[in-house]
Amino acid sequence: MVSTSSTLKADVLIIGFGKGGKTAAAILGRSGRRVVLVEQSERMYGGTCPNVGCVPTKGLVHRSQRRRPEDPAQDWYARSVQEVQETREVMRRGNFDTLNSIDTVTVITGRATFADPHTVTVVTRDEQLSVTAETILVNTGSEPVVPDIPGLAASRYNVSSTELIETAVLPERLAIIGGGYLGIEFAAIYRRFGSQVTLLERSDRIFGHEDDDVAAVATHILVDEGIHIVTAARVTEVRDGGSEATIVYDKDGEQHTVEVDAILAAAGRAPATRDLNLEAAGVRTTRTGAVEVDEHLRTSQPHIFALGDVRGGPQFTYLSLDDSRVVLDQLTGEGRRSTADRVVPRTLFMTPPLATVGLTEREAREAGHRVKIARAAVAEIVAMPRAYAVEETRGVMKFVIDAGTDRILGAALLSIDAQELINTVALAMRHGVTAAELRDAVYTHPSSTEAFNGVLATIVRTDGP
């Protein structure tokens, strides 16, 4: 209950304890700036990634891979959830203690709402505060989108990704609505733990952004794992029963049903701006609700910046981190750093992981590039003995290369260690390292990186756009 009211003044106010916000808070605080950071939930110190996103889900990926067929599914899963939540708690406390130990940083747990361009009202458990600041950073992240499907929102079998990874009971039958990054990753995790998984995707295929050849290999791996994938499926209704839910969907003009114990709606995430009252601050948003920013992350109010998912675009923790560098350069540096020239790698943590960067072959041709393609199945890359050493030879590596300059335009790596390999490719692209230079570099042995020696030595096709 709100019982008192007080006012705080800060040099910098940060709304949201995400990667970008906490990084900026620590650096600005240690430089002597008076920083107030507001986070609405004490469970979210550190942001989405260490609490309900990257860290716990990748912890479950790791533990699901270690489960042997003879290991009891329910016991293995319950222990895995407990271990992951213990790690989450250590990171949550560590994130809070790191900022709370800085004398010039004040962390407030409460809900922030703009009152005017320089003032935010914060309602905590005990009081209402008014915080004013010369500079304000919005880092509130994103929130799940629940599809408008009759019966879904009210279903007692409908679970969010957060609820699912915190529940110690393994669903025997799990349905996932949506075949994007989140849907595919959770399908792979829970199938490996022992759930029967049905993935319902409205498009004609999953991995819709990838080239057909890469998508085909990745899809085959998931199907081979035992995931039931239904594409071109339009879910029309969810009906609760006494001990299960029935999902009704249309495919090819016919109606189908599937009975499940849990439903995960993986329809994406939207910028979390609804409760900020940005209109009072004079901050413009896009039609999707994202905060509108320029390449320096300034909003329509020059003293207000937006970082991370809340500004729209790709939703990656490492982009939020880089956003903090852009903003800090505006506040304390030369002001030249921007978001305009980024090369952003991304990874989907199926098993093995699919990591990509830059243009696909299709996109490169559509952009008018003359391309050459280097492609090889992992099992056929002689220069990659690590794949055989760890018994994971599934997958494919593909590079899209400009035929005139030999510059790498993009890559798709579906292989063991792909989440690490892609960072080397992205670095090469940022600095203009050619495909030949990447091919002829000296790599440790046995390693996954030395696969570049073999893949880039074979150009499988060269032609025009």
* Per-residue pLDDT tens digits for 260-305: 999 999 988 999 999 999 999 999 999 989 999 999 999 999 999 9
Distance between CA atoms of residues 393 and 386, nearest Å: 9
The residue from 118, 296, 303, 445 that is catalytic is 445
The amino acid present at 453, given as its one-letter code, is N
The residue type found at 425 is V
pLDDT beyond 90 at 49: no
| pLDDT at 462 (0 to 100) | 56
Confidence of residue 461 (pLDDT cuts 50, 70, 90): low
Instruction: Say how many C-beta atoms besides its own lie within 10 A of residue 412's C-beta.
Output: 31
Domains of the chain as residue ranges with CATH: 4-142+270-332 (3.50.50.60), 158-267 (3.50.50.60), 346-463 (3.30.390.30)
E strands in 320-380: 346-348, 354-358, 371-377
- The token pair at 201 is 């995707």
- C-alpha to C-alpha distance for 212 and 311, rounded to whole angstroms: 31
- Is 369 annotated in the active site? no
Q: According to the model, what pLDDT value does residue 465 have? A: 45
Q: What's the pLDDT at 1?
A: 32
186 by Cβ neighbours in 10 Å (0-12 / 13-18 / 19+) ranks as buried
Q: What are phi and psi of 408, to 5 degrees?
A: -80, 125
Give the integer Cα–Cα distance in Å for 187 and 226: 10
Nearest 5°: phi and psi at 330?
-70, -40
- What mean pLDDT value characterizes the chain? 94
Looking at residue 378, what DSSP letter applies?
G
pLDDT digits (tens, 9 = 90+) for 344-388: 999 999 999 999 999 999 999 999 999 999 999 999 999 899 999
Q: What is the three-state SS of 181-233? A: HHHHHHHHHHHHHCCEEEEECCCCCCCCCCCHHHHHHHHHHHHHCCCEEECCC
Pairing assessment for the beta strands 304-306 and 127-138 based on DSSP bridges: parallel
pLDDT of amino acid 446: 93
Look at residue 147 and tell me whether its pLDDT is greater than 60.
yes
